[in-house]
Amino acid sequence: MSLWEYANPVKFIATTDRVLPALAWAAAGCLAAGLIWGFFFTPDDFRQGSTVKIIYLHVPSALMAINGWLMMLVASLIWIVRRHHVSALAARAAAPVGATMTVIALATGAIWGQPMWGTYWAWDPRLTSFLILFLFYLGYMALWAAIENDDTAADLTSILCLVGSVFALLSRYAVNFWNQGLHQGASLSLDKEENVADVFWYPLLVSIAGFVLLFIALVFLRTQTEIRARRMRALLARERMA
């Protein structure tokens, strides 16, 4: 029993088929619980009023936007090193989900920024690096879409993902240098003295768990779709040959 068994597409589909319903229900449950708890059963912040509740969408989606790219990076590395097709397809499947998370984070951030900072958008380091991350997602997806040969596309996009990760990190620190921010610093770290209050923290944790489960479920589902689409193309090609 090892993790690499799941490099076999049949095994992957069989296993994910079994866990997918549970994952999807768990995601729905956590999201519903976290969001309802957060929206209706937490007190208003004394300065921000009820706008503080955007945090239950903003923080988890931002978290998943970054971790989505990280997951693509790991999957790309596995593809480059061990050449498992499922890995490359999983990276491809994760990209649109991650890009959507980035858009959600940017949009909720803008809606939150308007009452708090008096502006929808500022060239703050965090905002700017998220916009750049979004551009990276776009480029990655466009490259996948543009190349016809599957293996070539997998190779090229995984190298783009590697190089892009380095440059995304560079941009992250470069924009820090370039402009001072409006965005608050980290207030959810596990190792800090002063964090967000517990009343907001627990529903946020549930909501984050919901987003993580949702992301995993969507990536599993989309990877299955990619595998099946490729299998279908192979069958069609075989028909045409015969």
Partner 1 sequence: MIALLTRDLRLAIRAGGGFGLGLAFFLIVVVLVPFGVGPETTLLARIAPGILWVGALLACLLSLDRIFALDWEDGSLDLLATAPLPMEGIVTVKAAAHWITTGLPLVLAAPALGLLLSLPGPGYLWLFLSLLIGTPALSVIGTFGAALTVGLKRGGLLLSLLVLPLYVPTLIFGAEVARRGADGLAVETPLLMLAGLSFGAVALLPFASAAVLRINLR
- At 15, the amino acid letter reads T
Cβ–Cβ under 8 Å, residues 170 and 19: no
Q: Is 163 helix (H, G, I), strand (E, B) or coil?
A: helix
Residue 7 Cβ vs partner 1, minimum distance, rounded to whole Å: 21
Residue 9 Cβ vs partner 1, minimum distance, rounded to whole Å: 23
Q: Which residues contact 228 (CB under 8 A, 6 or more apart)?
A: 13
Rank residues 159 and 235 by Cβ distance to partner 1 and give the closer one. 159
- At 120, the amino acid letter reads Y
Q: What is the DSSP letter of 49?
A: B
Rank residues 142 and 199 by Cβ distance to partner 1 and give the closer one. 142
Rank residues 42 and 129 by Cβ distance to partner 1 and give the closer one. 129
68's tokens: 């989505």
Q: Is 45 helix (H, G, I), strand (E, B) or coil?
A: strand
Rank residues 172 and 202 by Cβ distance to partner 1 and give the closer one. 172
Residue 192 Cβ vs partner 1, minimum distance, rounded to whole Å: 28
Residue 161 Cβ vs partner 1, minimum distance, rounded to whole Å: 11
Alpha helices (H) along the chain: 9-40, 55-82, 85-117, 125-146, 150-178, 198-241
Residue 130 Cβ vs partner 1, minimum distance, rounded to whole Å: 12
Handedness of CA 165, 166, 169, 170 (dihedral sign): negative
Rank residues 70 and 170 by Cβ distance to partner 1 and give the closer one. 170
- At 218, the amino acid letter reads L
Distance CA 32, CA 56 (A): 11
Rank residues 45 and 155 by Cβ distance to partner 1 and give the closer one. 155
38's tokens: 């957060």
- Report which of 118, 99, 86, 115 is spatially closest to residue 6, judged by C-alpha positions: 86
Chain contacts with partner 1 (rule: CB under 8 A): 132, 135-136, 138-139, 142-143, 146-147, 152, 155-156, 159-160, 162-164, 167-168, 170-171, 174-175, 177-178
Residue 182 Cβ vs partner 1, minimum distance, rounded to whole Å: 18
Rank residues 20 and 160 by Cβ distance to partner 1 and give the closer one. 160
Residue 135 Cβ vs partner 1, minimum distance, rounded to whole Å: 4
